[in-house]
């Protein structure tokens, strides 16, 4: 059950890169626009540090630090100095390692459900996952979400572009996205109605 909450107003390319049609990345490495995470940390309060287990180029870690949080990341490949270590989040959590306080992540979409479940097991406070808006409307994913501690959904507007990371690394601009994405914010132990709001690039 979802409740609309109104906020106060105040993929290697098979065509040329500028055609905005890409072949799927083998590691599901896609890069969100910078505003997606910077605006999240402006609008959502997290208690404690931020961990990104699929940090890619480090945009979420960077945005969290700019917002004043202690933040660190890991990934299966080190693509940025902001990647603290090489670690596969699907592996068992290292013995004796403290649990993350908050997990904020643009997960590999093909295993995103697993990432959500693992994050909820391991994290102490909030889990924020950047996922396709279609998860709210598709039968399978929406039924799965009903049984998760989903506290809030923030619909991002305008629609962000999320090309393969190598496209951004090659110096091309992210534009012309064809899919909508939202921030799905979970809180371990939460039981209640999920609020739906908007996360605007220009509030």
CATH number at residue 107: 3.40.50.150
Domain residue limits at 78: 23-89+97-200
Residue 7, domain member (yes or no):
no
pTM: 0.83
* 16 band by pLDDT with thresholds 50, 70 and 90: very low
123 touches 52 (CB < 8 A) = no
Residue 10, domain member (yes or no):
no
pLDDT of residue 152 exceeding 60: yes
Tokens of 189: 């132990």
Residue 152, domain member (yes or no):
yes
Residue 8, domain member (yes or no):
no
Measure the CA–CA gap between 82 and 160, rounded to whole angstroms. Answer: 23
Calculate helix-pair angle for 34-43, 59-66, nearest 10 degrees: 40
Mean pLDDT across 64-80: 97
Q: Looking at residue 30, what DSSP letter applies? A: B
120 touches 127 (CB < 8 A) = yes
Q: Which residue has the tokens 């990104």?
A: 52
Q: In whole angstroms, what separates CA 81 from the centre of its chain?
A: 19
Measure the CA–CA gap between 90 and 88, rounded to whole angstroms. Answer: 5
Residue 4, domain member (yes or no):
no
- Over the chain, what is the mean pLDDT? 86
Mean pLDDT across 167-176: 56
Residue 69, domain member (yes or no):
yes
Residue 112, domain member (yes or no):
yes
pLDDT of residue 167 exceeding 60: no
* 100 band by pLDDT with thresholds 50, 70 and 90: very high
Measure the CA–CA gap between 24 and 26, rounded to whole angstroms. Answer: 6
Q: What is the pLDDT of residue 176?
A: 58
Domain total in the chain: 1
Residue 141, domain member (yes or no):
yes
Q: What is the pLDDT of residue 28?
A: 66
Distances 46 to 14, 81, 166 between C-alpha atoms, Å: 40, 24, 30
Check residue 92 and give left, alpha or beta (phi > 0: left; psi -120 to 50: alpha): beta
Between 95 and 20, whose confidence is greater?
Answer: 95
Q: What is the pLDDT of residue 179?
A: 87
3-state SS class at 116: helix
Q: Note the helical H segments in the chain.
A: 34-43, 59-66, 112-122, 134-137, 139-146, 165-169
């Amino acid at each position: 059950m979802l409740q609309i909450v109104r906020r106060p107003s105040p993929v290697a390319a098979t065509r040329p890169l500028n055609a905005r049609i890409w072949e799927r990345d083998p590691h599901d490495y896609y890069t969100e626009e910078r505003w997606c995470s910077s605006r999240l940390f402006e609008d959502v309060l997290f208690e404690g540090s931020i961990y990104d287990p699929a940090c890619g180029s480090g945009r979420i870690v960077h945005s969290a630090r700019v917002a004043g949080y202690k933040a660190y990341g890991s990934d299966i490949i080190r693509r940025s100095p902001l990647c603290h270590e090489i670690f596969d989040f699907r592996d068992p959590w290292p013995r004796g390692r403290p649990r993350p306080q908050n997990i904020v992540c643009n997960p590999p979409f093909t295993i995103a459900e697993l990432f959500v479940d693992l994050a909820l097991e391991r994290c102490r406070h909030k889990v924020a996952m950047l996922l396709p808006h279609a998860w709210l409307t598709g039968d399978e994913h929406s039924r799965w979400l009903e049984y998760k501690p989903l506290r809030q959904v923030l619909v991002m507007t305008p629609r962000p572009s999320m090309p393969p990371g190598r496209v951004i690394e090659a110096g091309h601009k992210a534009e012309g996205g064809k899919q909508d994405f939202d921030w799905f914010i979970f809180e371990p132990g939460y039981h209640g109605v999920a609020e739906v709001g908007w996360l605007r690039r220009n509030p």
